[in-house]
Amino acid sequence: MSLGKSYANLGNMIAQYQDQGGFARPSRYEIIITPPSPDRFNNIRNFANRLDTLGGLSETLRQTSLACESISFPGRNIDTTTDTNIYGPSREIASGFSFAEISATFRCSSDMREKLYFESWQRQSFNTQTWSMQYYEDYIGAVQIFQLDEEDNRVYGVELVEAFPKTIGAQTLDYSSTGEIHKLPVTFSYRWWKNLNDEADLPVPVQDAIAGLLQNSIERNLLANIPKVISRLGQ
């Protein structure tokens, strides 16, 4: 018994893609890297001063984004568990999500501004005087990745939410590499990613909003009580 005629005709497939503007090219992309919010790092002198020496925030962001030689769209894995509360063969049901880190490679300018930029961002996560870790909101930003068509239109995009440069890779120095360009590998950690085509306007989960309010309240209370604690220690 026949199961039907195949529609996988090569000519029809090519014609269909041509009608839709052709194939997507991995070399047609754009990224936008957004560091921590200015109201978080303006009070941290090192990062603010570094951005000034590199030409300011907007110029640094533009040049760093243009210097990205390669990056990947993120994947998303649905974690599963086995459902045994049924008769017959077992089945896998969703139990959560997991996201893999994203690696990117940047071409370095002669002044190494790309390396300086990511190193300064990393230093947002810890205090170089006490080696204590900073608040989470002090060092998280965002990374947007777009697929472009042949007319430079953004046809697909994702945003890495609560992202930061987790790893800045080593760079090899070699006298024989006279004609090569320094490449900087950077690995970004992030909490989750969203599709900017249809998930851009999703509301913040209620539990996240409540957690944010509680954290801000706790921070304010701690800061308000610091002078009292210091005065008691001096007694």
Q: What is the pTM of this model?
A: 0.73
Residue 66 predicted with pLDDT over 50: yes
Look at residue 221 in the predicted model and tell me its pLDDT. Answer: 52
Kindly indicate the confidence band of residue 63, based on its pLDDT and cuts at 50, 70 and 90. confident
Q: What is the Cα–Cα distance from 172 to 148, expressed in whole angstroms? A: 32
Give the residue with greater pLDDT, 94 vs 198.
Answer: 94
Helix 45-53 and helix 113-122, axial crossing angle in degrees, nearest 10: 170
pLDDT in tens, 98-109: 999 999 999 999
Residue 206 predicted with pLDDT over 50: no
CA angle, residues 33, 207, 121, in degrees to nearest 5:
25
* In the chain, % of residues over pLDDT 70: 67
Q: What is the Cα–Cα distance from 130 to 145, expressed in whole angstroms? A: 36
pLDDT in tens, 146-167: 999 999 999 999 999 999 999 9
Please report how many Cα atoms fall inside a 13 Å half-sphere around the Cα of residue 195, on the Cβ side. 7
Residue 235 predicted with pLDDT over 60: no
